[in-house]
A and B are shown apart, each in its own frame.
Chain A
Amino acid sequence: GEDVEQSLFLSVREGDSSVINCTYTDSSSTYLYWYKQEPGAGLQLLTYIFSNMDMKQDQRLTVLLNKKDKHLSLRIADTQTGDSAIYFCAEIQVNQFYFGTGTSLTVIP
C-alpha cells in the first residue's frame, strides 16, 4: 500500500483545540477513519466519514474532508489530558485498511 502521511507529534495546552492532519492516497476510498490508541493498548475507532461528506461533527470531534487535496483532519475541541494518545487516520484500499504513521498528541496541563 502507499503511504498515508501524518505528522508524528503535536502538543497543545489543556482547553485549547487540537487539529491532527492526514494526507491519504486513494481518491476512491469509500470511508476514512480516525482511531485513538492509548499507551499499551489497541486501537479504538473514534469516528469515520463517508467520502461524499465534507464534514462530520460528533460532540468534541470534527472531521473535515477535502477530497480534491486528499486531506483529512480531526479537530478536538476543549482538549483534555485524557485526550493524550496516538491518533491514526486510515483509508480503505482494495478492501484493506491502510493506516497512517500516527500522531502522538500530548496535552499540557
Chain B
Amino acid sequence: DGGITQSPKYLFRKEGQNVTLSCEQNLNHDAMYWYRQDPGQGLRLIYYSQIVNDFQKGDIAEGYSVSREKKESFPLTVTSAQKNPTAFYLCASSPDPRPAHYGYTFGSGTRLTVV
C-alpha cells in the first residue's frame, strides 16, 4: 500500500545533540512538508520541498535543516540550535504543490522529547 512512513515513532534526545527524523513516501508525490505540532498551537510549517534538490523555509525554520536528495525521502534534522525541540513532528506530501481537492497526505508522526 502507498503511504508516508515516519520513523521512529518516539525519539529521545539529550540537550546539545542533533537528531534526524526520517520521512519516506512511496506515493510518487513531488511536494513534501514538515510540520511541528504543539498543544493548542495547531500545525506550524518548518520546511517544504516542491521538487528534488530544492527546499524552502517555512514559518519556523530556525534550528532545523532538511535535504531532498531523492523524491521519496525528506529527512528533518533538529539541531542543538533549536531551543525548544520537544514536540510532535508531522511529515506530509502532495502530488503537486498547487492547491487541489486531495490536500495533503500525512505520516503518523514522530514524538521528540528532550531529556
Is there a chain A Cβ closer than 8 Å to B85's Cβ?
A: no
Count of A residues near B, CB < 8 Å? 26
Q: Mark A73-94, 1 if CB is under 8 A from B, else 0.
A: 0000000000000001010100
Chain B interfacial residues counted at CB < 8 A: 28
Given A101-B40, A101-B41, residue A30 in contact with residue B108 (CB < 8 A)? no
A contact residues around B104 at 8 Å (CB): 43, 45, 97
- Which B residue sits closest to A101, measured CB to CB? B42
Q: How far is the CB of B84 from chain A (nearest CB, A)?
A: 18
Most central of A1, A33, A96 by chain B CB within 10 Å = A96
Q: Is the CB of B109 within 8 A of A40?
A: yes
Asked whether B41 lies within 8 Å of A31 as measured between CB atoms, the reply is no
Which of B59, B92, B97, B102 is close to A95, meaning CB atoms less than 8 Å apart? B97
Asked if A88 contacts B43 (CB within 8 A), the reply is: yes
Do A50 and B45 touch across chains, with their CB atoms under 8 A apart? Answer: no
Q: Select which of A31, A43, A101 is within 8 A of B99 by beta carbon.
A: A31
Interface residue ranges, B against A (CB under 8 Å): 4, 6, 33, 35, 40-43, 45, 48, 58-59, 90, 92, 97-109, 111
Residues of A with Cβ closer than 8 Å to B? 1, 4, 8, 29-31, 33, 35, 40-45, 48, 50, 88, 90, 92, 95-97, 99-102
8 residue pairs, one from A and one from B, having the closest CB atoms: A42-B106, A92-B99, A101-B42, A99-B43, A43-B106, A42-B108, A45-B103, A99-B42
